[in-house]
Structure formats: C-alpha cells, structure tokens
Structure 1
C-alpha cells in the first residue's frame, strides 16, 4: 500500500489547508483507491496556524473576548497545548478580514492581539507563539503593548489612542506597568517575511497598501514607525527596527521585540517542529505540499519549501502543487522538489479558478499520483488500481 502525506498550506481565498488536502486526496484515491493518505494541515505563521498545530498534535481550542482592529468586540480563537504552550494568530485579534467598514490603517489597532496574549497568560502559558500574518494594522505593536499595560503619552501628557494614526503623536513610552508575567514567559513571533520596520522594504511601504493605505498614508505611517523606533532606541539603547521580521504584521514583530522582550523565528521551521512532521514523514512513500502560488519567492520561508527540505532529508520524493506557477521555478527544483504542478491547466480568470477549486485540485491530485506511479512502475499508468 502506498502511503502519501499531504502537508499543504492554504490556497488563500480558495481553500483552507485541510480542504486542499481533502481535494487532493480525492484525486489520488481516484487513481489508487488503496492508497493511504495522511493529511497534515500546515501554515507558516499566518492564518490557519492555530488550526494546523491543534490538528497535528492536539490541544484545547480556546477563545478570548477582545477589541477588534476597528474597535469592535469580537471573539479570537487560540490554542493551548501541553507543557504550558500557547499558539495564537495576529489574524484572530487584529485581522484584515475583521475590519468593520473600509480598510484604513490609520484607524486600526493591534490591541486585540495583546488581549489574546493576556488570555494565554491567564491560562498558565509560559511559551507563547504569535503567528504574524494577515494583520489589518500598522501600529508597530503599540496597541498590543497598551493592552498588556504599557502607556504611550502625547505632548500634553494624555494617553495616545491605540490606532495607527496615534503612533506619530507619542512622545513618551512607559513600560513599567506591563503585565509582570511577561518577564517569566517566552514570546516567539512566527513570520515568513524578513522585512525591517521602516523604509522602502518596511511595514508601511510594503504591506500598507494592502491595508488601504494611499501613498500619503504610507509616508505618514512610516514616519510614525520611525518616530516610535527612535523613542524606543533612546530608552533601551537597542535599535530593533532592522531585525529581520520587525516589519511583519504591521510592525507587530517590532512590538514583540521592543515591548515584550520577545524573539522572532522563521514561522515554517517552528511550526514543522511543533507539528512533529518529521516523525510523520518517516513512513511516507510520497510527500505532497503546495500553496496558492509557487515561484522563486517561495524560497523565502514559505511552507512548501520548508516541507520539501524536511522530506528530502529523509530521501522522500516531493511533488508541489500550486494554483499558479511564477518565475524562477528552477530555484524551487534546486531546493529539492521533484515535480511542480499547477492546478490551473487552461486559461481562466482568478474568479473562475476559485469557483472550481475542488475540481482543479482533484485533477491535480490525479496527475500527481499518476506521475508518482509512472516513476515507480513504468508501464503502469494507474489503470490497474481500483477506483
């Protein structure tokens, strides 16, 4: 019996990680009904991180009542694992899909993320992983810090409102009253980007437009983040702004470093460790991964490449499947992939592809399985397998 592990990221806007695995499995088992398919949902620190880890290793799915990115009340989901470990996502406490009304990073906040961290501390967590992705805010983590007891004052000595527009008005930072439990906790930000806090590659310039920022607003946000970094650098003697990932999630990466004493790690590496994927790969005959688009940029901390490297270290064949293929696939092959397939095989609009996600991924699963059988048993195209 052939054992296949499907560990694919979500196809954003089309299917969750688990749905991708379900659809691919349908195609695989159309070719070989006896194949054993093991589905391991994965994420790289963005949306779906909590679900993927809970599915892989178990744990409690928790909720926290928080203030959303637009100031509205909402419930954020997070995970409590064994050994006092918590996993949460910025997308749950300050997600771009949670914005009430028009996107405007001058009016959004990371406050809800701090409230989820507080809930994790209340539950006894001593190691807290924060998935940095899918945020609606560009406040440098100031709102997050305020939720945990920090104070930011303007020139009149008033508390600055926790919104992106408030960052540039801060003249004094006071972290003396932050939750004392933070000093005993290990805070780890998980990110698939290496952007600094400010500048042409920073949080505002690169990610601000996705959150509704006009060119003028990008400049305003970037100036505010530069100002915040100057204040923090003067107070702590450390410039956190250029650390890789400081610009992740609207600068929340910076906030974890500067206000919570946290650290940043490549998301996929930590998640693969947490989900114990290496142990699962040991008995696999084939590993399939993928995401919405695969190209040379996938080498920059994306889930499929991390999974590919883990599988190749055990000598396993790897097929990657994407909704679309970009440039520099040679680099993807050099990273270890044996075959890279697109689920979209004829000209169609994005809307058409999304509407046909299940059908297209099922076909991709069939193609992947036939390619595997061809390589392992030339002359048998799968027609002998029971459908």
Structure 2
C-alpha cells in the first residue's frame, strides 16, 4: 500500500537554501531540492506540499534571493564604481507589504564592490561609496519607503561619506570647499552641510545587513582589519584610521551621537557610521534581516520538514550564516536537514547546533570542478534520498516503491 500522510493534509516541506557559490544560485539549489522531494513523493505515492524560499545571509546573492522570493526583476541604475567610473548597478523595490510600505533592497557592492575595480591597481585612499548613494536615490525615485542595505564586498574605506554626498550632503574643509572622493580626504573635514540633503533620505527607514561586529577605529577597526583586503598598506591604514576619526568627530559634534564604538560600524570601510549618525540606521545580522524581510519564519514554523544547504557546512556556518539563520527560525521539534558540497562538522556539533542531520552531495571522490558541474543534479539526488528516509521514519516501516 502507498504511504499516506498521518493527517488529512499533505506533508509540508520548506526548502530554504543558500547558493552553492560557484556552482548554483540559491534559486537553482531550491528548485533542485524541491525536484528531489517531488520524485520521492511520486514514487511512494505521497501527497506533499513544497514551499521554496531561496535565501542569503545579507552578503553576495542577497539581492537575487530576495528578488526571487518576491517575484520581481532587479532594476538597473546609472551609478559610478568605487573609483568614480561610469557603471550600472542593480537594485530592487518590493510591492507594498502588509503595512503598505515598499522596501528598496540594495547590495552596496553593485556600486562599490571589489570585483568592479579589479582591472586596475587598488586605490584605497580614493575609493568612494558615491555610487551606492546613486542606487539609494534610484530606489527612492521608485517609491521605496524603507532601505535594506547589504554592505559586504566593498572596495571602500570612506565611512559612507560618498554615499552622503550622492544624497546631497556637502563635506566641507575649513575654507568651505567640497572634499574630494575617498577616505583620505576626510582628514580635512571641517563641517557637513545638510541643507541640500534629499529629504526623502531622512524619512525612510534604514536597515543595514551586517555580519561583523568590528568597531570603526583602532586595531580591530575598518582600516586596520579590512583595509589591507582593499589594497591598503601600513601607511594607508594609518591615514584612513585618522581620517575616519576626523569623520566621526565631526558627526558627533553636529548630531550629538557618537557611534564609533558601536558594534558593526567598522564594516564595509565604516559605511554604517554616516548612516547611523545622519539617518538613524539600524544594524542587524544579515541572515536575520533577510529572514524577517522574506517572512521565512512563517514557512519553517508550518513545515513538517525543513531542508537547507550551502556550499560548505563548517563552524562558520553556525554563526550568522544561512544555515544558522534557518536553524534559529525552525522549531526544535521539526527535523532540519542540511545538504552541502562538503560537511566539515561532526554529528555531535550538528546536534548541539540544532541540526537533525547533514549530508554531502558528493557521491564519491571527485574534483571540485566535477562536483560544481553537476551540483544541481547531485542536490536533487540527495534530497530524493533524504525524503525517502524521512518517509520511512514516519511510517516506521521499510518503504519500497509500488510494483508497476
């Protein structure tokens, strides 16, 4: 006899994966997982309801994951890259949500990312977030009443000064002259003129997806920790740290709010500093912020089984990444199974983290290139096997496909 659900309703499976970077997007992974579950259900004649939610942790791929979940296409805008060269960047704006608001989603790296300037020698003292401000303006023009800003992967260390300039703020030296682009120029900052600031930027809600807790300044700060990744040598780091100090001193003097020690202000070259000081922006863990935006908890809380995954499951996965976020929103009574290209944590560590089980999609010894080439297929096969075992556990019998 075919296995039937223990209740009158179909079994509910929530599929909430990250991308397998370099192999498959989050959307492709989600569809592969769903395909595997459907195959197992069809063979065993089980009614199943699958809900897919491609996911991300606020870093690379977040824009695409959110667009997929919302069913919208990314928009494009004329921007500049971190070195001021003409470029095009993507962003998204939602349809009105439950409160009637439209959310603008921006990956800052679309305008100030390292890959866009990898064709020339790094210029860490001059790199600017001006293009990110252009994306914000485009989202505001499209009706966004809330800005969700994902800030990873930046080539800049200007404290968000360029972003503010793009929105109409003027950063002036002691002679009233506008500062040039980049973090080093901030050493000459005397005053910030907000008379020309886009008033819409003060009315919208700002939220920043950020998964680091570094402060703005010092040995753990924006310049010292992340500057070398952007081409800054030891002298450059000293220049940038002093310039960021000057920026936050002026902001504190003008706004009465000193954010330099706030966790996360050192992220993305200090970009949160201007946003928190001028726009009262809120920093939140990227995965949690994406989960809230996509209402992921609703899916996991109503599921009988939750599947998630990422390219590599290791200790970092358990600290703010997609797997950790999905774990945090999944009820403890609900099985949570992880599929990954490689699994580098023990079963004990999995259990302690609230993960029911984790499986590698690798069928045997393979090169990375071989595994990447068939990643979606392997994900589907693994999901089919997992769902078959899950059904066996529910029935407490050995399952065999019906004889045709």
Query: Considering the TM-score relative to the shorter chain, is it more than 0.5?
Result: yes
Distance 2:361 2:12 in 1: 22
Runs of 5+ unmatched residues, structure 2: 1-9
Q: Would you say the 8 A contact 2:158–2:271 is kept in 1?
A: yes
Do residues 320 (structure 1) and 338 (structure 2) align?
A: yes
SS at match of 1:290: strand
SS at match of 2:334: coil
In the other structure, the counterpart of 2:32 is 23
In the other structure, the counterpart of 1:73 is 86
In the other structure, the counterpart of 1:143 is 162
Range 98-107 or range 140-149, more displaced? 98-107
The structure whose Rg is larger is 2
Q: Would you say the 8 A contact 1:320–1:340 is kept in 2?
A: yes
Instruction: Give the deviation of 1:182 after TM superposition.
Output: 2.1
Gap change, CA 1:136 and 1:316, over 3 Å in 2: same
Deviation digits for residues 150-191 of structure 1 (CA, Å, limit 9, x no counterpart):
222346643222224433443433334311222222111122
In the other structure, the counterpart of 2:4 is none
Do residues 335 (structure 1) and 353 (structure 2) align?
A: yes
Runs of 5+ unmatched residues, structure 1: none
Instruction: Give the deviation of 1:110 after TM superposition.
Output: 1.1
In the other structure, the counterpart of 1:311 is 330
Which residue of the other structure, out of 83, 86, 103, is the alignment partner of 1:85? 103
SS at match of 1:52: helix
Superposition map of 1:252-263 within 5 A: 252-263=271-282
Superposition map of 1:38-117 within 5 A: 38-59=51-72, 61-81=74-94, 82=96, 83-99=101-117, 101-102=119-120, 104=122, 105-117=124-136
The TM-score, its normalising length taken from structure 2, stands at: 0.83
Distance 1:107 1:349 in 2: 41
In the other structure, the counterpart of 1:365 is 383
In the other structure, the counterpart of 1:120 is 139
SS at match of 1:245: coil
In the other structure, the counterpart of 1:228 is 247
Instruction: Give the deviation of 1:21 after TM superposition.
Output: 1.6
In the other structure, the counterpart of 1:196 is 215
Superposition map of 1:287-302 within 5 A: 287-302=306-321
Distance 2:361 2:315 in 1: 18
Deviation digits for residues 299-357 of structure 1 (CA, Å, limit 9, x no counterpart):
432222221221226x3210122333445875553232111223346566655544453
Instruction: Give the deviation of 1:216 after TM superposition.
Output: 4.4
SS at match of 1:312: coil
Aligned length: 385
The TM-score, its normalising length taken from structure 1, stands at: 0.86
Instruction: Give the deviation of 1:198 after TM superposition.
Output: 2.5
Distance 2:294 2:283 in 1: 18
Q: Would you say the 8 A contact 1:299–1:305 is kept in 2?
A: yes
In the other structure, the counterpart of 1:384 is 401
Range 196-205 or range 177-186, more displaced? 196-205
Gap change, CA 1:18 and 1:228, over 3 Å in 2: same
